[in-house]
Structure 1
Amino acid sequence: MREQKNKMSYRDAMEYMSTVNIYGSVLGLDNTKELLRRLGNPQDQLKFVHVAGTNGKGSVCAYIGTILAKAGYLVGRYISPTILEYRERIQTGQNQSTVFISEEEVGDLIGRIKEVADSMVEEGMPHPTPFEIETAMAFLYYVEKKCDIVILEVGLGGREDSTNVISTTVCSVITSISLDHMQILGDTLTKIAYEKAGIIKYKIPVVSYAQESEAMEVIKEVSEQNHSELTCMSLEAIENVEHTFHGITFDYKEYKKLEIKLLGENQVKNAALAIEAISVLAGLGYRIKEADIRTGLLLTRWPGRFEMIKTEPYFFVDGAHNEDGAKSLRKSIEIYFTNKRIIYIMGVLADKDYHSVLRHTAPYADTIITITPDSSRALSSKELTKAALEYCKNVIDGETIGNAIDIAMELVKKEDVILAFGSLSFLGEIYRHIET
């Protein structure tokens, strides 16, 4: 770590990051480029798999990263939002170990970035946003760790996302695209797909989920314009899928009896997309054996995605927060919870289409307990209760996570299921309550 005037403790760094929250989230690359230029453009020393999409980004990043780490590469992973703790967003993996950025490294790097951010403001430029600062911190960290490759998850959209300053992408990956963040990205699949396809780089291969035709047309067109070879995963090639509470087995193309531990109807599709991305990387010269693919898929963990965190009673958490996520959750409920009584704990952000989420999921609930997530964008539990009563007759305003869990535990019987979902923003708090 280089010497600097403005070293910070982890606590000071976190306080600083909370103060820069006032700068919000701003789409556009100019400020990020200037920040990185003053830091020596660390991103130019790295190679990236750049991942955009509406749903499944985190899971696909986890699969690709774990497979590459199993193949012996030192892999950086940049993810958002985080669930367990702040440092989770910047991590490295190699073989079977995963390491989060340390508190000392966060303090050192944010101290270094703050010096540059302050100089930008002194010269009349906008202050970098939290996401711009974190993206710069990630690039600096991965350079210092000498990562072989970085799996870089887009924050929002793609075209004007801070991560899109990179010019050393080796593969662009686009996961499932659906309607979300419509006030920012556009109100049609075509408009949203155009933003996601903004990560496609000239003559760099693209791997895409089997999108709806409207979105697929955009990805094909942008790939052709950039002379980028496009590979699409095949839903038809997914066969012999078997679900249990302990994992899923399936076949994909020439790979038979693959096994994953991540549960949920959508995870097989995410794994298939990751396999296609790995095949492209192998074609570029990355040394990846079939055993690395099999073991990497099996070892992949990704919290908060239709995850069972407790048994007796069964307690599941999921990040479903938009219509596409709710449809996928509904299918998972049908697969895993047949003839089971289900109690929901649900909290949502006010800018999400929560009526669509309720429409797809509420018919399966015996009782819905609402909460207010700890977010400035949260919908109050009172408002969510009012909305939920349109779809389910048993709705309780639980207000807080702790209270909602207590109510659910009183209502639940041993063979019943508690399912918490609606936003990733409160899942970390659920883990902490369940552990204590």
Structure 2
Amino acid sequence: MDYIKARTYIDESHRFGGEMGLEAITCLLEKLGNPQDDLQFLHIAGTNGKGSVGAYLAAVLQEAGYRIGRFISPTLYEYRERIQINGGYITEEAFGRLMDPVVKAIGELKAEQKPLPSPFEIETALSFLYYKEKQCDFVLLECGMGGKTDATNVIRNTKLAVITSISMDHMEYLGDTLGAIAGQKAGIIKPGSRVVTCRQEKEAMDVIEQVCKEQGCPLYVGEKTQAELVTADLDHMVFTYREETYMIHLAGSHQLENAVLALAGIRALQDAGYRISFEQIRNGMEKARWNGRFTILRKNPYLVVDGAHNPDAAKKLQESLRMYFPDREFVFLMGVFRDKQYDAIAKRMAPMAKEIVAMETPDNPRALPAEELGEVLKKYQSPEHVHVAGSLEEALQLGEELAKKEDVIVAFGSLSFIGDLTKLSEKMG
């Protein structure tokens, strides 16, 4: 099968089941010979920070000479970005070729009237075939949503279970308390794995500690309080942690917590017998990159993009803006999905802006219409300072007209439009 046909098949598979749970992907992987059982995983769950922590871990392990598969979602710039090895995307040839056995297996499942996989489950299964074929040492696997019933949790050989910052998100699926959500995230913890997390709220921390105890897994906690910030600007951050000094290039006030969590994860892998030197750790941390998370696209005026799509991420974005731009005024471009807590995000962010543009995330059925978002924003900002854009291009043009040279334009609310916005910014110069 060629790449275009493979992509079309996946797009059309939305009409299949797609129920939460592991039954469909388990059936599919059995047909494919369970390639995941021949791989070793670093499994990451959490509300915010999964991508950044994964970027640090992948960079350090690559620096140490390991071959690292990485499965990420959502992607920003290119569909094939979701399946990577050492930073290189899966080729179109490999993607099309590996879809052949997947399509054959789904045909057999249909004939047997067994549950059929969702697009995400198909991509997950195909990635396992690819990582096995390429003999990856580790696969760094990000949960799509939750943990316990996420399609990625079909794996067995979890060497490291990473749980990043937990806050309220996807409550209709994961529960309406921190404890319930933490229980879902902690579902990735399996006997024989080591577990690493940051210092969570007590309700969430208690759940993680209890699951570790039940599964007999050692727990490592990356304590942000043990780190000391030496210097920080938009290009780099220098900090000390456990008497060593590190430099990172991911911007944002929350990156200190993410970096410390990744360092705790590396320590857990060292304790498990994997050879990773301090020099490799320091070099890997410095080489780590992760676009779309407090990323500066250009200056004069500054244009910042950030995937803040829930109240906790919005709070961290707000902290970062105050940290890096304490004396500047802001023009916000906001676009969200209708299934997000957009009112809470608007309540936090809108009063901070001198002007705010509501936009609709393009080509997505989950998008909240710009007009509806504009009405919500008017609850927290004077109506004359709230604008509605009919397209991403119009939103960016409006933002540039409203901003002075010394102001900062900030686009946030979803990762889904960042790739398109980046291309638009480059095109508009």
Task: Give the shorter-chain TM-score range.
Answer: over 0.9
1: CA distance, partners of 2:399 / 2:258? 31
Task: Tell me if 1:297 matches 2:290.
Answer: no
SS in 1 for 2:187: helix
Partner of 2:295: 307
1: CA distance, partners of 2:115 / 2:211? 31
Aligned partners of 2:148 and 2:186 also within 8 Å: yes
Pairwise CA distance, 1:203: 3.3
SS in 2 for 1:293: helix
Task: Tell me if 1:136 matches 2:125.
Answer: yes
Aligned partners of 1:341 and 1:417 also within 8 Å: yes
1:181 to 170, 173, 193: 170
Read off the aligned partner of 2:426 and give its amino acid letter: E
2: CA distance, partners of 1:411 / 1:361? 17
SS in 2 for 1:236: helix
Output one character per residue of 1:256-285: Cα deviation in whole Å (capped at 9) or x when no partner. 2x1111100111110100000001111112
SS in 1 for 2:225: coil
Read off the aligned partner of 1:9 and give its amino acid letter: D
Read off the aligned partner of 2:272 and give its amino acid letter: L
What residue ranges of structure 2 are gaps of 5+ in the alignment?
Answer: none
Structure 1 pair 195–348 and aligned structure 2 pair: CA distance change class (3 A): same
1: CA distance, partners of 2:278 / 2:2? 44
Pairwise CA distance, 1:434: 1.3
Equivalences, count: 424
Pairwise CA distance, 1:329: 0.7
Structure 1 pair 84–189 and aligned structure 2 pair: CA distance change class (3 A): same
Aligned partners of 1:159 and 1:195 also within 8 Å: yes
Output one character per residue of 1:36-59: Cα deviation in whole Å (capped at 9) or x when no partner. 111011001111111111100011
Partner of 2:5: 12
1: CA distance, partners of 2:346 / 2:402? 21
SS in 1 for 2:240: strand
- 1:70-85 matches, within 5 Å, as 70-85=63-78
Output one character per residue of 1:297-326: Cα deviation in whole Å (capped at 9) or x when no partner. 111111110011112221110010111101
Partner of 1:86: 79
Question: After the TM superposition, which of the residue ranges 307-316 and 47-56 deviates more from structure 2?
Answer: 307-316
Partner of 1:262: 250
Question: After the TM superposition, which of the residue ranges 110-119 and 187-196 deviates more from structure 2?
Answer: 110-119
Identity score, percent = 45
Read off the aligned partner of 2:270 and give its amino acid letter: A
Pairwise CA distance, 1:179: 0.4
Aligned partners of 2:331 and 2:354 also within 8 Å: yes
1:396 to 387, 393, 398: 387
Pairwise CA distance, 1:23: 3.3
SS in 2 for 1:116: helix
Output one character per residue of 1:42-92: Cα deviation in whole Å (capped at 9) or x when no partner. 001111111111100011111101100011111011110111111000001
Partner of 2:140: 151
Partner of 1:382: 371
Pairwise CA distance, 1:241: 4.2
Task: Tell me if 1:368 matches 2:361.
Answer: no
Pairwise CA distance, 1:22: 2.7
Task: Tell me if 1:286 matches 2:274.
Answer: yes
2: CA distance, partners of 1:223 / 1:81? 29
Read off the aligned partner of 2:332 and give its amino acid letter: Y
1:55 to 48, 51, 59: 48
TM-score (norm 1): 0.95
Read off the aligned partner of 2:231 and give its amino acid letter: E
SS in 2 for 1:54: coil
2: CA distance, partners of 1:312 / 1:85? 28
Pairwise CA distance, 1:26: 2.3
Question: After the TM superposition, which of the residue ranges 240-249 and 140-149 deviates more from structure 2?
Answer: 240-249
Task: Tell me if 1:343 matches 2:334.
Answer: no
1: CA distance, partners of 2:355 / 2:15? 38
Task: Tell me if 1:324 matches 2:312.
Answer: yes
Partner of 1:435: 426
1:413 to 381, 404, 407: 404
What residue ranges of structure 1 are gaps of 5+ in the alignment?
Answer: 1-7
1: CA distance, partners of 2:66 / 2:404? 46
2:101 to 104, 108, 112: 112
SS in 2 for 1:425: coil
2: CA distance, partners of 1:135 / 1:322? 25
- 1:204-219 matches, within 5 Å, as 204-219=193-208
RMSD: 1.1
Read off the aligned partner of 1:52 and give its amino acid letter: A
1: CA distance, partners of 2:275 / 2:234? 33
Aligned partners of 1:13 and 1:110 also within 8 Å: yes
Output one character per residue of 1:150-174: Cα deviation in whole Å (capped at 9) or x when no partner. 1111111000111111111111110
Structure 1 pair 24–303 and aligned structure 2 pair: CA distance change class (3 A): farther
1: CA distance, partners of 2:192 / 2:101? 35
Structure 1 pair 24–385 and aligned structure 2 pair: CA distance change class (3 A): farther
2: CA distance, partners of 1:149 / 1:421? 32
Task: Tell me if 1:426 matches 2:406.
Answer: no
Aligned partners of 1:118 and 1:127 also within 8 Å: no
2: CA distance, partners of 1:23 / 1:388? 37
Read off the aligned partner of 1:195 and give its amino acid letter: Q
Structure 1 pair 241–422 and aligned structure 2 pair: CA distance change class (3 A): farther
Aligned partners of 1:243 and 1:335 also within 8 Å: no
Read off the aligned partner of 2:171 and give its amino acid letter: M
Question: After the TM superposition, which of the residue ranges 222-231 and 357-366 deviates more from structure 2?
Answer: 357-366
Task: Tell me if 1:124 matches 2:113.
Answer: yes
Structure 1 pair 241–323 and aligned structure 2 pair: CA distance change class (3 A): farther
2: CA distance, partners of 1:69 / 1:358? 39
